[in-house]
Structure 1
Amino acid sequence: MDNDLIRKYAHLIVKTGLNLQPKQMLVITSPIECAPFTRLVSQVAYEAGARDVVIQWKDELFSKIRFLHAPEEVFEEFPAWQKEFYLSYVHQGAAFLSISASDPELMKDVNPDRMTKAQKASSTALKDYRERLMSNKNVWCVVSIPTAAWAMKVFPHLSEEKSIEKLWEVILKTVRVDTQNPDTSWQEHKANLKTRLDFLNSSALKSLHYKNSLGTDLRINLPDNYTWLGGSEYTPDGLEFIANLPTEEVFTLPEKTGVNGIVVSSMPLNYNGNLIEQFSLTFKDGRIIDFSAQKGFETLKNIIETDEGSHYLGEVALVPFDSPISNSKILFFNTLFDENASCHLAIGKAYPVCLENGANLTPKELEQAGVNDSLVHVDFMIGTSDLDIIGFTVDEEEVPIFKDGNFAFRI
């Protein structure tokens, strides 16, 4: 691969994604397979004036060994030192970078109950940390680079070397690093997203009605004082950052008890190394009352049954079918990319920042405003080429939002 492009990518992550400030701490969570790139990012961060860089290495092959052989009770525990690790840095105002590059089916032989227990223990212990990030009190960014197992899943007909090379090429294109000036390209992209946000936020919508030929027929009410976000996000101090590289979505939150109907997935969902395929969810008064899956039913069941909030939705996101990642016709088996190729929803916790002044409200005030809370936030894709979405105002006036998979309004 072109080392200059890879270095440009590292600079984009540090300067645009994280907008790292002089003397700021940076915490990186990275698979060990991504070590060379992670070290490059750390070097770029130091060059940008980082006070220090701390790396939390993840080894998914060891994780599989542990899930298969460790005694059951260890998955209900979370080390106190790990909790303190994240809390100490989050309260120092650190920036957080996560590199997402897992093997989509590594954990298919693991009992999903064990993984659910581990996920719940982790989410419970790190609740304060997660809430600070989801309220944008710290800058954070999620990115990806190829690993051999992931690349071979995406491009199974290529050799390992060629599949990695191809995935690098695609990733660098999706984050606009292949353009002459990535910073300029991102400024233009953010401006385009803002045009969509301005239309949606000025339309005073009270609900959205989704329909397509897969069987989706879903009505989602929106809470009072919601706002659509996308592209740039901001800390309470006004520091701009981009939480996902790439990003093509605009998103908001649903009213917790205002979701009714059925929604059908349009892509497989990779959740902790397990694939969930061809699944549907049925809602009544916001709550999931029925669900099905052709593959990965137990994994889906465990997500939904994590806690009370995981029976409800926390995010509504719009992505046109005619968008760069979707037009690549590549199924990535990685939510960071697949969610930016498709309209999607999320099971579980809502982003408080999608409510005016939401980041400053107490949990009780958020609950009263119809904002869902949960230990999980799991995006799943529902967009298709024939998806229609009609918005409704308080007076039930119809506002076309999507027609045949794309925005029905011009930007």
Structure 2
Amino acid sequence: MEHLEQSLDKYAALAVHIGVNIQKGQTLVVNAPLDAAALVRKIAKKAYEAGAKHVYVEWSDEELQYIKYKHAPDEAFSEYPMWRAQGMEEMAREGAAFLSIYSPNPDLLKDVDPKRIATFARTSSQALQNYRSALMSDQNCWSIISVPTAAWAKKIFPDLSEQAAIDKLWEVIFQVTRVHEEDPIQAWEKHNQKLAKMVDYLNQKQYKQLIYTAPGTDLTIELVENHIWHGGASTSESGIRFNPNIPTEEVFTMPHRDGVNGTVRNTKPLNYGGNVIDGFTLTFKDGKVVDFSAETGYETLKHLLETDDGARHLGEVALVPHRSPISDSHLIFYNTLFDENAACHLALGKAYPTNIQGGTSMAREELTVHGINDSLIHEDFMIGSAELNIDGITKDGKREPIFRNGNWAFNPE
């Protein structure tokens, strides 16, 4: 127990100082499940010690969410409490930092009508789109971390007792987030520097296209002109460095919304809205998904793609080596924060405007002209494996290796 408390203290410090990098006089907003209460208290203490003015916590309870999906009338899912959306927008305008603790039960809504889930996902996305756009543009510092819950831990370690599964998941989380290091903050600074070297190399290359080949995947992705690769730490509008994801192993940029052709197959399950989608393929023509299949969660995938026009186009392309701490755990987490940082992935939906020069100051019409996708959703899905090869096509037509057998084909040292 003493060891756990020490690790939780280090994890809380990591979230406050590396995740959102709270500043003196700033407000911190924490979105957290009830299971995270012990950690949230430590985070609040660390934030106040760092000079935070307020720490506001928005609690969530999956069981209440499930009860609503099962028993509320249909019209309930077409409404969203606008006082909450307006409150988040107001705090964003006032410069708050936002920390989300993401620990979903992958099977929570498996017996719920996917149409209800899709309806509420669209409703909440519409209500919160200004707040989410602020975060995706890095106007505010924001970060996502996870804590074990009984349902999530048992999904990963079904042969262990509930408490043993939770303890094991904590052990893994501390390992892949570098909390086990003597000085996790210093370890993250070194990790960010390593990712920055990859980013610098790719930004200098300015590849016109990426070509993906793997079992079930033969895909060509055109990148927008003047695209920007990011990875590791980001910088907010006010110049504060922060880490959006803890853990993270990715570097990512922007595909052209109309420049994706071919077929791609997922390599890890996708937990979307309390339902698992797996064994799925997407076929693209001129940027749009024109055909799809799924062995598990077909209806959920169908509703996801029908969210709006942008949901059938890509908004992100991310590169993650197969040999990385999360992948080396040989676990499937059923949690996108972890699984997306164990494998190369793509994202359906809205693009990050920070991934193109001048993107954060472009009007919506201007974004479209530049081939930047817009949508109510941004949903990552994993396509990486030890069999994935990726080539980059330069502006003068030269083909160069980027990934071979799932790992980087170059060393920018």
Instruction: Give your verdict on TM over 0.5.
Output: yes
Q: Which residue of 1 aligns with 2:332?
A: 331
Distance between the aligned counterparts of 2:138 and 2:17, measured in 1?
17
Q: Which residue of 1 aligns with 2:170?
A: 168
Distance between the aligned counterparts of 2:156 and 2:46, measured in 1?
29
Q: Which amino acid aligns with 2:355?
A: C
Q: Which residue of 2 aligns with 1:291?
A: 292
Match of 1:71 among 58, 70, 73: 73
Q: Tell me the CA shift for residue 157 of structure 1.
A: 0.8
Q: Tell me the CA shift for residue 386 of structure 1.
A: 1.0
Q: Which amino acid aligns with 2:284?
A: F
Identity of aligned residues (%): 49
- The question of 1:350 aligning with 2:359 is answered no
Q: Which residue of 2 aligns with 1:381?
A: 382
Distance between the aligned counterparts of 1:84 and 1:403, measured in 2?
47
Deviation string, structure 1 residues 213-239 (Cα, Å, up to 9, x no partner): 2x1000000011101000010112211
Deviation string, structure 1 residues 11-39 (Cα, Å, up to 9, x no partner): 01001111100110011100112111112
TM-score, length-scaled by structure 2: 0.98
Distance between the aligned counterparts of 2:235 and 2:411, measured in 1?
26
Q: Tell me the CA shift for residue 207 of structure 1.
A: 0.2
5+ residue gaps, structure 1: none
| Structure 2 counterpart SS, 1:258 | strand
- The question of 1:57 aligning with 2:59 is answered yes
Q: Which residue of 1 aligns with 2:394?
A: 393
Q: Which residue of 2 aligns with 1:245?
A: 246
Deviation string, structure 1 residues 114-137 (Cα, Å, up to 9, x no partner): 111111111101111111000000
Deviation string, structure 1 residues 376-395 (Cα, Å, up to 9, x no partner): 00000000101000100112
Distance between the aligned counterparts of 2:85 and 2:194, measured in 1?
39
Matches within 5 A, 1:153-164: 153-164=155-166
Q: Tell me the CA shift for residue 204 of structure 1.
A: 2.2
Q: Which residue of 2 aligns with 1:367?
A: 368
Q: Which residue of 1 aligns with 2:45?
A: 43
Q: Tell me the CA shift for residue 103 of structure 1.
A: 0.6
Compute the RMSD of aligned alpha carbons.
0.8
Q: Tell me the CA shift for residue 167 of structure 1.
A: 0.3
Runs of 4+ that moved beyond 2 A: none
Q: Which residue of 1 aligns with 2:263?
A: 262
- Residue pair 2:206, 2:227 contacting (<8 A) in 1 also: no
Q: Which amino acid aligns with 2:300?
A: T
Q: Which residue of 2 aligns with 1:210?
A: 212
| Structure 1 counterpart SS, 2:246 | coil
- The question of 1:112 aligning with 2:145 is answered no
| Structure 1 counterpart SS, 2:115 | helix
Q: Which residue of 1 aligns with 2:22?
A: 20
Q: Which residue of 1 aligns with 2:141?
A: 139
5+ residue gaps, structure 2: none
Q: Which amino acid aligns with 1:273?
A: G
Deviation string, structure 1 residues 291-335 (Cα, Å, up to 9, x no partner): 000000011111110001001000000000011110110111100
Distance between the aligned counterparts of 2:171 and 2:350, measured in 1?
33
Q: Which amino acid aligns with 1:265?
A: N
Q: Which residue of 2 aligns with 1:300?
A: 301
Match of 2:203 among 186, 201, 204: 201
TM-score, length-scaled by structure 1: 0.99
Q: Which amino acid aligns with 1:136?
A: D
Distance between the aligned counterparts of 2:144 and 2:92, measured in 1?
16
- Residue pair 2:387, 2:406 contacting (<8 A) in 1 also: yes
| Structure 2 counterpart SS, 1:183 | helix
Between 249-258 and 83-92, report the one with greater CA deviation.
83-92
